[in-house]
């Protein structure tokens, strides 16, 4: 029997009482700005993480969790006694235990439960597989236990899961995007005020997302190092967040030590690119939006240094296609995926062409996530 056909009832012997989901996300522009209090512009992708859940019998404090992506083994732990996993294979359980750990610490009442997870969001792709898991799981707990949590507060708690339990110092963008974004529009989010609004992608364009085949991980040293460098730049500038400085402050930023100067420059110019991207989208101008994609990638490559040769190759191949307005690395970097803005009606053909060229040149196995794909 195909393991994906194994139902909640077959695993736990009874029906689920709640089913919740959350989409993965692709960030159109605004990379590494969220933990600096800046602007971001993500949109949802069709792929989702789905969680089915039911309460355990009264008095049972055990969480029993099974994942369709991990062979349906049932993992068990006690609510309030969460502990990080030591095996690489069970690393995904840190996000689950982190959710219940943070909810209990925040004063929410939880009992034991049974849960089945199935994720369509590819792991290590820079498309927020971890945030989609956390948001969908917390939504299932909200429904099952009647937790009083709005979507913004839920996203904030998911960020705490990453920061305080998993150990990845991610910003608020990913959980907010997975909690609030939808397919076809972008979520323009001010991560300082938490104000947000929906912005339409230009009608003359559509999106392509291609996973490079090189996995990325937020818990690794590179991501946390970049955040620490931003904090050092703030200290040198006498500010709390890089959001507090703008384009007019670049001459002052240029006087910082080289690495700190380039990190701060990226954040400042990326914030400006987000604002200009929103203006381009409101003006239905895909050409200008594509130019901003290109500028953003160059900044991530040279100033923030989070790209890698395979990603640069993929962006270069995409940019060489006549139907493409612009392409850039999306996500935290050090692998993962790129997002491409392409002329409407050409995404299927162009994405297959780019993937084939990249596979031949790199030896990697790319995956077209959008359009299509699971």
Enzyme catalytic residues: 174
Q: Element (H or E) spanning 268, and its range?
A: helix 258-282
Neighbours of 200 (CB within 10 A): 11
Bridge partners for 67 per DSSP: 117
Q: If you ran DSSP here, which 8-state letter would residue 93 be given? A: H
Sign of CA dihedral 37, 40, 43, 48: negative
Chain CA centroid to CA 272, Å: 21
Alpha carbons 157 and 172: distance in angstroms, whole number? 10
Q: If you ran DSSP here, which 8-state letter would residue 90 be given? A: G
With beta carbons less than 8 A apart as the criterion, state whether 370 and 126 touch. Answer: no
Which DSSP string do the residues of 146-215 spell out, in sequence order? Answer: T----HHHHHHHHHHIIIIII-----SHHHHHHHH--TTEEEEEETTT--EEEEEPPTTEEEEEEE-S--
């Amino acid at each position: 029997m195909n393991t994906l056909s194994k139902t909640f009832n077959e695993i736990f012997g009874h029906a689920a009482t709640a089913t919740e989901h959350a989409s993965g996300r692709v960030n159109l522009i605004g990379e590494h700005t969220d933990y600096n209090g800046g602007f971001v512009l993500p949109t949802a992708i069709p792929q989702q993480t789905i969680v089915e859940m039911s309460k355990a019998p009264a008095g049972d404090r055990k969480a029993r969790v099974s994942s369709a992506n991990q062979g349906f083994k049932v993992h068990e732990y006690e609510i309030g006694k969460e502990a990080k996993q030591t095996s690489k294979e069970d690393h995904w359980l840190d996000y689950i235990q982190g959710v219940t750990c943070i909810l209990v610490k925040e004063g929410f009442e939880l009992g034991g439960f049974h849960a089945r997870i199935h994720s369509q969001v590819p792991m290590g792709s820079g498309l927020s597989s971890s945030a989609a898991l956390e948001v969908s799981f917390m939504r299932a707990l909200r429904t099952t236990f009647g937790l009083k949590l709005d979507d913004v507060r839920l996203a904030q708690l998911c960020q705490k899961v990453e920061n305080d339990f998993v150990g990845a110092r991610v910003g608020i963008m990913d959980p907010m995007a997975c909690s609030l974004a939808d397919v076809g529009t972008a979520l323009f989010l001010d991560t300082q005020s938490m104000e947000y609004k929906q912005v339409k992608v230009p009608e003359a364009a559509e999106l392509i997302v291609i996973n490079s085949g090189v996995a990325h991980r937020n818990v690794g040293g590179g991501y946390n190092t970049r955040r620490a460098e931003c904090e050092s730049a703030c200290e040198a500038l006498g500010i709390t967040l890089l959001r507090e400085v703008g384009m007019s402050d670049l001459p002052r930023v240029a006087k910082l030590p080289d690495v700190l100067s380039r990190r701060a420059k990226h954040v400042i110019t990326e914030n400006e690119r987000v604002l200009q991207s929103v203006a381009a989208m409101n003006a239905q101008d895909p050409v200008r939006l594509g130019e901003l994609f290109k500028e953003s990638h160059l900044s991530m490559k040279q100033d923030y240094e989070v790209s890698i040769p395979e990603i640069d190759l993929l962006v270069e191949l995409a940019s060489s296609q006549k139907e493409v307005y612009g392409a850039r690395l999306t996500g935290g970097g050090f692998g993962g995926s790129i997002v491409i803005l392409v002329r409407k009606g050409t995404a299927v053909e162009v994405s297959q062409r780019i993937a084939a060229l990249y596979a031949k040149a790199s030896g990697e196995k790319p995956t077209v996530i959008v359009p299509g794909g699971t």
